[in-house]
Each structure stands twice: as structure tokens, then as C-alpha cells.
Amino acid sequence: MNFLARRVMTGALTLLGVTFLVFGLSRIQGDPRSILISDDASFDQWQEMGKQLGLDQPVYKQYQIYVVNLIQGELGTSTLQKKPVAGILLERGRNSALLAVTAFSLTILVGVPLGVLSAVKTGGIYDYAIRMFAVLGQALPSYWVGLLLILIFAVGLDWLPASRMSDWTSLVLPTLAIGWLGVSGQIRIIRSSMLDALDSEYVQLARAKGVAERTIIWKHVLRNAIVSPVTFASLTFASMLTGSIVVETVFAWPGLGLLSVNALNNSDYPILQGVILLAALIYVLFSFVTDVVYMMIDPRIRIQ
């Protein structure tokens, strides 16, 4: 089968799997009425609500209706805000995207150079320091890092606002809290693919031929080592786009992450389903694009 067609199909299958999961999630919580109904409601109201929610239909029928609605772009209505889910996702998505773009830029701007430096100076003091920085970034919970950042830079030094979205200064702390994790991952992955490439036979060959070390690193090594870091970066960006649940909560950043925490605390399942589907969609799209780009670069992938 044609690589592209195959790739589109696997993506669609993945998304279908996700809808199944998401639908199941909204059903295993039991009768949605037990959450939605008010404390003083009577039995008649209970019945009435059941009819409104379509609970009198068999489950497979409910799923069918759900998927057909999804395909038509109908994500449902937030039970809490009584507004269409799609509109809410769009509004909040913009805020998360803003944060994702800054955090991703940090990941690239800091992660790539540090990763290269660390690989080139293997075993040295730079390598050691950079690796510690990267390892710590993956070892501390990001919400905790966020709180520490607030205490240091907002409360202690009073340089930056403690929370919420206002001007550009409000972007700094949440970007750092989210970005550290991304930077760490990027450093580690760049470093290891660079080392891989440095070890490879063609680099040894180039060395043997007397090619300058600088040329080797920038021309041969980085180019060959860039594949997995690009995958990593694009998928990291995809996951950032749907917001960091904990960091957005800590910084009261009105993005998708905070939205979903609120939705869960108030049992607003349509919103929750929407966020999960959106996240899956973005992920599938990004990995698709990444694969297609590789395919164009390296024809051998097509064979697989």
C-alpha cells in the first residue's frame, strides 16, 4: 500500500480508538444524572433528565450517535457553561498555544545548543553540568518547580507576576516551568543521537580522511542525528499545545489544562471528552506530518 494512504489510515484508526475510549469514559462513571441533578430534585425530574440525555437508548446506539455527531464537528455542549464545547476549546486553546509556543521555543533555543555542547564535550565539566540540569528537569514535578519559581521570582524578588495571563511578563514563569521538562528531554535526546552519530562508521571514515572536526560535527553528525530530536520536538510540541494541566492550574493560566481540571472537578464530561479528543487529534496530526517530512527526506522509509 502507498505509504501516505497507509499513514492516513492508521491515524484515522487511532482516532477511532480514542473516541471509543472517550465514550467509554463518560459511561463508566455511571448514570450522568447522579452528577447533574440538584440536591432537591424529585424523581420526576430524574426521569425527565434521562430522556433529555438520551439515556433511554441502548449503549451501542448512543455510541453511534456520538461518533456521527463528532464527524459532523458536533462536540456537544458543556454541562457547566451551557455553551458549545468547540467554541470553548478554541478560546482556551489559544491561551494554551501561546504558552506552548514559548515553551517550545525555549526547548529548541536552549535544548539544542546545550545538547550539542554536551555531546561535543563528552566527559567534560560542561557535559556534566548540562546533564545534571537535564536530569533534574526530568526529576522534579513541574507544578512544584512552578510554585518554587513563583516564590523566588514573584514573592521573593518581585520581578515577575505571580500568576494569570496579562502582558508578556506573565508568560515567563509558566514557560520556565513547562519548558524545563522539554529542554531536558531535548538535551538528552540530542546528546545521545549526536554521540551515536559520532560513533558511527562514516564519521570515523570522515575522520580518517582528515575532515576537520568542526565540519564533521556540523555537517555530518548533526544532520544525521537530527531525526529523533525532530520527532521528539514535534511530539513534545503537540503535547504542549493541549496545555499542561498542573502548570496551568498553578499559574491560573486560562488554557485547556486548567479547563479540563475544572471540568473534572465539576463533572463536565463533554468538555473533558473534547480536550482528550483534541489532544489525540493534534498528536496524530503532528506525528503524521513528521513522518511525511521524513519520507520526503529519506526514501528508504517508504519501504517500511
Contacts with other proteins in 144-163 (CB under 8 A)? 144, 147-148, 150-151, 154-155, 158, 161-163
CB of 11: closest distance to other proteins in angstroms?
A: 8
Q: Cα torsion for 88, 68, 21, 34, to the nearest 10°?
A: 70
> Nearer Cβ to other proteins, position 60 or 201?
201
Nearest to 171 by CA among 65, 279, 97: 97
Residue 104 contacts other proteins per CB under 8 A = yes
d(CA 63, CA 276): 16
Q: How far is the CB of 69 from other proteins (least distance, A)?
A: 19
Nearer to other proteins, 62 or 267 (CB): 267
Q: Does 252 bind other proteins (CB under 8 A)?
A: yes
**Rounded to a whole number, what is the distance in angstroms from the first to the last CA of the chain?**
10
Say whether 77 sits in a helix, a strand or coil: strand
Is 31 a binding residue for other proteins by CB under 8 A? The answer is: yes
All cell numbers assigned to 11: 491515524
Residue 57 touches other proteins, criterion: CB under 8 A: no
Is residue 132 packed enough to be buried (19+ CB in 10 Å), middle (13-18) or exposed (0-12)? exposed
Q: Within positions 166 to 225, which residues make up the interface with other proteins, using CB under 8 A?
A: 166-168, 171, 178, 181, 185, 188-189, 192-193, 195-196, 199-202, 205-206, 218-220, 222-224
- Distance, CA of 11 to CA of 181 (rounded, Å): 27
Stretch that binds other proteins, among 56-64, 66-74, 130-138 (CB under 8 A): 130-138
> For residues 79-98, which are near other proteins according to CB under 8 A?
80-83, 91-92, 94-95, 98
Q: Which helix (H) or strand (E) holds 59?
A: helix 59-71
59 binds other proteins (CB under 8 A): no
Q: Does 241 bind other proteins (CB under 8 A)?
A: no
How near is the Cβ of 253 to other proteins at its closest, in Å? 9
Which residue reads 477511532 in cell numbers?
Answer: 16
Binds other proteins by CB under 8 A, chosen from 62, 84, 266, 292 = 266
Q: Alpha carbon of 148 to those of 151, 152, 156, 168, 175: distances in Å?
A: 5, 6, 10, 20, 14
Per-residue cell: 291: 513522518
Candidates 53-61, 64-72, 272-280: pick the segment binding other proteins (CB under 8 A). Answer: 272-280
- Cβ-count burial of 214 within 10 angstroms (0-12 exposed, 13-18 middle, 19+ buried)? exposed
**Least spacing, CB of residue 71 vs other proteins, in Å:** 18
Choosing from 85, 89, 217, 284, the residue that interacts with other proteins (CB under 8 A) is 284
